Structure 1
Amino acid sequence: MEETVQKDSPPTARAMTATQKMFARACKRDWVTPGEIVYPDPEMLIIHDGFVETAYKELSGLGYGRITAPEKVVFVTDHEVSYSSPRAVERGRNIRSIANAWDVNQFFDVGRGGQGHIFPIESGLVRPGMFLMCYDMHCTNFGAVGALAMAVGPEVTSVLATGTIWTEVPHTVSIRLNGELPKGSHARDVGFLLAHGFTSGRWAFKHDYRVIEFGGPGLVGLQLSERVALCNSVTEMGVANVLFNGRPPGINVDGAPDFLSDPDAPYEATIDFDLSTIEPQLALPGGPDRAANVADHVGRSVNHAVIGSCGSGMYQDFVDAAEMMRGRRVADGVRMFVVPGSPATAKRLANEGIAQVFMDAGAMILPSGCGPCAGGNMGPLGPGEVSIATAATNHSGRFGAKEAEIYLGSPLTVAASALSGSLADPRKSLHP
C-alpha cells in the first residue's frame, strides 16, 4: 500500500465540504462549521426490525400516542425475515401493528424491500444529496450515491418524537484514490487496509467521528457495488460517516442535487491512495480493521461461506462471484450461503441464470436480508467453526457461537475460499 499524507492548510472563507453543505441544507442555513452543534431536519428516518418494538414501548411510556412526521419514517424488516421462533413471529406481528398505529406507510415488511442498507439505493428511495437519520450504523452505505445518513442508534426515539436531535457537524478527511485495482483485488480490500491504517495509528490524525470522503481519479473505475463495499468496510472503526464526492455513473435521479466539496474545502487531512498496489485482503477475526494479506493465511480450513449482507449484497457482487464459480463445486464440508440484498436482485439473478450457477456449485440461496450476519438467525455458525464472509463485521458471536471464527473478505475471496475449502487467494482461482 502506497500513499501520501498531508495536513491541509486553512480554507478560504466560506468554502465547505460536501458534508457541511448537506448539513447546512438540513438546517435551512447557508453555512455550518465543523464542530458546531446543530439540529438538522432529516428527509428520512430509517428504523430496522430489531428496534421498532423498543422505540414504541419507550415513547408509549412517555405518553406519546403519535410521532412527528410519520411520512418521513421508514420501517425495514431485514434482520429476521424467515421466522425461526415463536418470538420472531410475535415481533413481526407487533411491528405491523406499530406501523399502523403510527401511520408509517413506508413499511418494507418481509419480502417487500430487502436489506435496509442496500435496497434503498437500488430502488432510488435514497437519492444523491439526501440527509437522513437512521438507527443502524451501516447506513454509511448510502454515501456510495452521495447521500449523508447519520446513525443515531437508540436516540432514534428522540427523532421520532421531535423530528430531530442535536448533532455535531463532523470534520472530514479526504481520501484521494488513484490508479486501478488489479484483477482479483476489490474495493473491500481497500476498505480493510484503510481501517487498519486508521486504527493502528499509521496516520497521525483522528478518524473518530470524522467523515471519510472518497474522491480522486480512481473513482472512475469503481462500480456502485464497490463503492457500497468501500463505504461499509470502514464503518466499524468509529467514523461519523463515509461519503463519495459525487454520485456514481448510472445514478440519475431527476431533481436530486449533487453536493460536491469545494476545491479548497476545510479538510482536516488528505491521503492519496494508490489502488494499483492493493493485494487481496482478509479481516482477521475480531474486527474489519484487522487487515492482513490473504496470501499470508491461505490453507486455513473453512466450514461456512457467505456472500451478501450489507457488506456486499448488490447484483454485481454476485455476478463477480458467480463468474469464478461457474462450472465448479463448493468444497466438501463447506456450507455456502448467498444472500441477495433485495427481492429485485434475487429475481434478476434467477432470470439471468446466475442463481443457477450458485446452486449448481452447491450453494444455498437465502431470503433477502442480513443473512447470518444478523446474529446467526439464519445459517449460523457452531462452536469451533470457521467462516469467510462479506459481512459487515466479524466480532465474536456475530454469526452465532462465540467460539467460532469469522474472517471477512471480498466476494471474490469468499468464492475462492468456498471452492477450495480453505482460505484462498482469489487471484489463483480466476478463470483465464
Structure 2
Amino acid sequence: MSAKPQTLTQKLLARASGRDYVAPGDVIHPVPELVIIHDGYVETAYRELTKLGFRRIASPEKVVFVTDHEVVYGSPAAAARGARIREIARCWRIGRFYDVGQGGHGHLFPLEQGWIKPGMFLFAYDMHCTNFGAIGAAAYGVGPEITSVLATGTLWTQVPDTICVRLHGKLAPGVHARDVGFVLAHGFSSDRWGVSADYRVVEFAGPGLAGLSIADRVALCNSITEIGVANVAFPPPAGSKEGVHSDPGADYLHVIDLDLSEITAQVALPGGPDRAAPLESVAGQRIDHAFLGSCGSGMYEDFAAAATVLKGRRVAAGVRLFVVPGSTATAMRMAQDGLQQVFLDAGAILLPPGCGPCAGGAMAPLGPGEVSISTAATNHSGRFGPSDGLAYLASPLTVAASAIEGAIAPAVQAVKA
C-alpha cells in the first residue's frame, strides 16, 4: 500500500496497472476488467483486426457488445448490419452480447444490472462511458484505439490530473442535476475558474452529494463529458462495501466550491453542452421536437421527474415528444407502475430502449430547419439529422414543460399552470 495520498482515480489506475502508486503524467498500461463496444463500431473493429491477421482477440470473456444505436432496423442494410454483428460475436466468442431488446443503452443498463461495480476499471469505445464514474468506477472511452485493447488486452494511458468540485446545499424546485452539469461545462469552457478540464478528471465531493441519486450522478457525469474531460469520478454510493475513496491530503490540481442552491434551470444552446445559458434567456423559443432519454437522462428517475410535469396535461399541437427508456428494465418498470400511461395520455411517442434520436437521428430525426429540445448527450450540428436543425439541451423537467408549452419553458411554470 502506498504511503502517498492518492485520488480515487489514481488508486483505480494504480490497481489496474499492478502498482501501489501512480502520479499524474505517468504512462501506464492498465488491464481492464471489461471492454465495451457499441454496435456502431463492431464491424470496423473486426475488419481492421482481420486485415492485421488477428483471428481471435485477447480475453474475449471480458468483451461486451451492446446494440443500442440502431435498435430498430429501418432498412434491409440496417438488418444486414445487425446480422453481421451477431456473426462477429459468435466468431470472436464474445463474453457478453446484448442484442436488440436485451439490455438497452450501454452507458446505463450495466449500472442497473450491477455488473459495473464501484472500483472497477474498464475500457470502452464511446466517450460517454464516463457515466460509470457515478458509482466510483473508471471507464475510459478510447474511440478507434479500442482495437488495440481487443488485440493486446490493454492500451497505454497517461494518468490525468484531478480537479475536485465540492458541492454544497440542495437544488431548488424545477432545477435538476443536469442543470448543474451545464453550469460546470460552461464554466470550464469560459475559464470561469482559471483551470482547463481538458484531459483532467473532474471528481465530485462535498456535503451536497447526499441529496443526489445515482440518476443525478449519471446526469452530472454525462453533461460535462463533451468538454474534453479525461473522466468523471464520484465516491462509491453510501453503504457500498466496494470501491475506493480519495485519501485525505490527495493532491488536486484545483478545487472548486459550488452551491447547488444558487443553480437555476439552464438550456444548452445549439452547438454543444458547454454553450449553456439561463433558461429565461431563451424562454419562448418555439420547438417542433422534444426527446426524453439518452445516456444523458435515461434512467427511471428521469422519466418519473418528467411525468410529474406531464401528468394530466397534453403535448402542444405541432410538437413531437419522443420518450426513450434507457433500458429494457426501465421500460418494464414504467409500464408496470403507470408512468408509461402518463406519457401516452400526454400524447408522447414511446420508442424502444437505446440511444433514440441521439444516435445521429437514426430514429425520430428532425425535419429541415426544425427546432428540438432534449436530454440528449450532445447537440452539435446534424446530431439529430439535418445540419440546419437547431438542437437545445435541457433537463427532463424543462423538456417536459417545453413540450407542453410548445416553446422552451420552465418546469415550475408548467406545474403551476
| Structure 1 residue corresponding to 2:250, chosen from 262, 265, 273 | 265
Alignment CA distance shift 1:55-1:137 (3 Å):
same
Q: Please report how far the alpha carbon of residue 13 of structure 1 lies from its aligned counterpart in structure 2 after TM superposition.
A: 6.2
Q: Which residue of 2 aligns with 1:164?
A: 154
Instruction: Provide the C-alpha distance between the structure 1 equivalents of 2:400 and 2:340, rounded to a whole number of angstroms.
Output: 14
Q: Which residue of 1 aligns with 2:334?
A: 349
Q: Runs in 1 of length 4+ with deviation above 6 angstroms? A: none
Q: Which residue of 2 aligns with 1:303?
A: 288
Q: Structure 1 residue 238 and structure 2 residue 223: aligned? A: no
Instruction: Provide the C-alpha distance between the structure 2 equivalents of 1:319 and 1:191, rounded to a whole number of angstroms.
Output: 20
Q: Which residue of 2 aligns with 1:184?
A: 174
Q: Structure 1 residue 376 and structure 2 residue 361: aligned? A: yes
Instruction: Provide the C-alpha distance between the structure 2 equivalents of 1:67 and 1:153, rounded to a whole number of angstroms.
Output: 17
Instruction: Provide the C-alpha distance between the structure 2 equivalents of 1:257 and 1:28, rounded to a whole number of angstroms.
Output: 18
Instruction: Provide the C-alpha distance between the structure 2 equivalents of 1:62 and 1:145, rounded to a whole number of angstroms.
Output: 37
How many residues end up aligned between the 2 structures? Answer: 416
Q: Are the equivalent residues in 2 in contact too, given 1:67–1:160 (CA < 8 A)?
A: yes
Describe the SS at the equivalent of 2:40: coil
Q: Structure 1 unaligned segments of length 5 or more: list them.
A: 1-11
How large is the RMSD of aligned CA atoms in angstroms? 1.2
Give per-residue Cα distances to partners, 1:271-291, cap 9 Å, x unaligned: 010000010000000000001
Matches within 5 A, 1:328-407: 328-407=313-392
Q: Are the equivalent residues in 1 in contact too, given 2:202–2:231 (CA < 8 A)?
A: yes
Describe the SS at the equivalent of 1:391: coil
Q: Which residue of 2 aligns with 1:290?
A: 275
Q: Please report how far the alpha carbon of residue 312 of structure 1 lies from its aligned counterpart in structure 2 after TM superposition.
A: 0.2
Q: Which residue of 2 aligns with 1:8?
A: none
Q: Which residue of 2 aligns with 1:16?
A: 6
Instruction: Provide the C-alpha distance between the structure 2 equivalents of 1:124 and 1:39, rounded to a whole number of angstroms.
Output: 26
Q: Which residue of 2 aligns with 1:248?
A: 237
Instruction: Provide the C-alpha distance between the structure 1 equivalents of 2:226 and 2:281, rounded to a whole number of angstroms.
Output: 24
Instruction: Provide the C-alpha distance between the structure 2 equivalents of 1:191 and 1:211, rounded to a whole number of angstroms.
Output: 14
| Structure 1 residue corresponding to 2:192, chosen from 191, 202, 215 | 202
Give per-residue Cα distances to partners, 1:364-414, cap 9 Å, x unaligned: 110000000000010000111000000000000000011000000000000
Q: Which residue of 2 aligns with 1:37?
A: 27
Question: Residue 187 of structure 1 aligns to which amino acid in structure 2?
Answer: A
Q: Please report how far the alpha carbon of residue 427 of structure 1 lies from its aligned counterpart in structure 2 after TM superposition.
A: 1.9
Q: Are the equivalent residues in 2 in contact too, given 1:223–1:248 (CA < 8 A)?
A: no
Describe the SS at the equivalent of 1:271: strand
How high is the sequence identity, in percent, across the aligned residues? 62
Q: Structure 1 residue 98 and structure 2 residue 88: aligned? A: yes
Q: Which residue of 2 aligns with 1:5?
A: none
Describe the SS at the equivalent of 1:345: helix
Describe the SS at the equivalent of 2:183: helix
Question: Residue 415 of structure 1 aligns to which amino acid in structure 2?
Answer: A
Give per-residue Cα distances to partners, 1:35-57, cap 9 Å, x unaligned: 10000000000000000000000
Matches within 5 A, 1:26-105: 26-105=16-95
Describe the SS at the equivalent of 1:68: coil
Give per-residue Cα distances to partners, 1:147-193, cap 9 Å, x unaligned: 00011100000000000010001110000000000000011101111
| Structure 1 residue corresponding to 2:115, chosen from 125, 129, 138 | 125
Q: Please report how far the alpha carbon of residue 248 of structure 1 lies from its aligned counterpart in structure 2 after TM superposition.
A: 2.4
Question: Residue 120 of structure 1 aligns to which amino acid in structure 2?
Answer: P
Describe the SS at the equivalent of 1:172: strand
| Structure 2 residue corresponding to 1:215, chosen from 202, 205, 210 | 205
Instruction: Provide the C-alpha distance between the structure 1 equivalents of 2:258 and 2:415, rounded to a whole number of angstroms.
Output: 25
Q: Please report how far the alpha carbon of residue 430 of structure 1 lies from its aligned counterpart in structure 2 after TM superposition.
A: 2.6
Describe the SS at the equivalent of 2:93: coil
Q: TM-score, normalised by structure 1?
A: 0.95
Instruction: Provide the C-alpha distance between the structure 2 equivalents of 1:257 and 1:41, rounded to a whole number of angstroms.
Output: 19
Question: Residue 317 of structure 1 aligns to which amino acid in structure 2?
Answer: D
Matches within 5 A, 1:101-120: 101-120=91-110
Q: Please report how far the alpha carbon of residue 78 of structure 1 lies from its aligned counterpart in structure 2 after TM superposition.
A: 0.2
Question: Residue 352 of structure 1 aligns to which amino acid in structure 2?
Answer: D
Q: Structure 2 unaligned segments of length 5 or more: list them.
A: none
